[in-house]
Amino acid sequence: MGRYQGTLPVALLRDDAIRPTEYRRWADAKARFERRGKDAAIVAGLVESIPRQGLRVPVVLGVDDRYGDVYVADGHHRAVALMALAAPRFPFHWYWIKSMGVRIEDRPFPYYLLDR
């Protein structure tokens, strides 16, 4: 069986639902990307290409098995571009964040964690 790939509403990319891992808040990620030329160019390129080609590389979500928190583990630039575009949905893969390590899941995502 291959990796699970689902889609979620971009509106869930917010500080109280699907959080960034490398930044305290999504506003911090956006501000940093705007300040740094390389990051700004990456986001601008994604904003230009996503409407034409879609998101070619899914966002990777990590789910904390202790608290059930959901984080963007890989794809912060993609997430910021999707938010800028007000895209309706985004594709993703996911994994549990466990003390013994991680692996991309082939089982369905625990969607109930986002209903809190």
* pLDDT confidence of residue 98: 85
* pLDDT confidence of residue 1: 59
Q: What is the pLDDT of residues 11-48, one digit of tens each?
A: 999 999 999 998 999 999 999 999 999 999 999 999 99
Does 50 fall in a domain? Answer: yes
Q: What is the pLDDT of residues 96-106, one digit of tens each?
A: 998 777 888 99
Which residue range(s) make up the domain with 15? 6-115
Q: What is the pLDDT of residues 51-77, one digit of tens each?
A: 999 999 999 999 998 899 999 999 999
How many folded domains does the chain comprise? Answer: 1
Does 1 fall in a domain? Answer: no
Instruction: Please report, for the domain that includes residue 71, its CATH number.
Output: 3.90.1530.10
Does 30 fall in a domain? Answer: yes
* DSSP-assigned letters across all residues of 48-68: HHHHHH--SS-EEEEEETTT-
Distances in whole angstroms, Cα of residue 80 to Cα of each of 50, 61, 99: 12, 14, 29
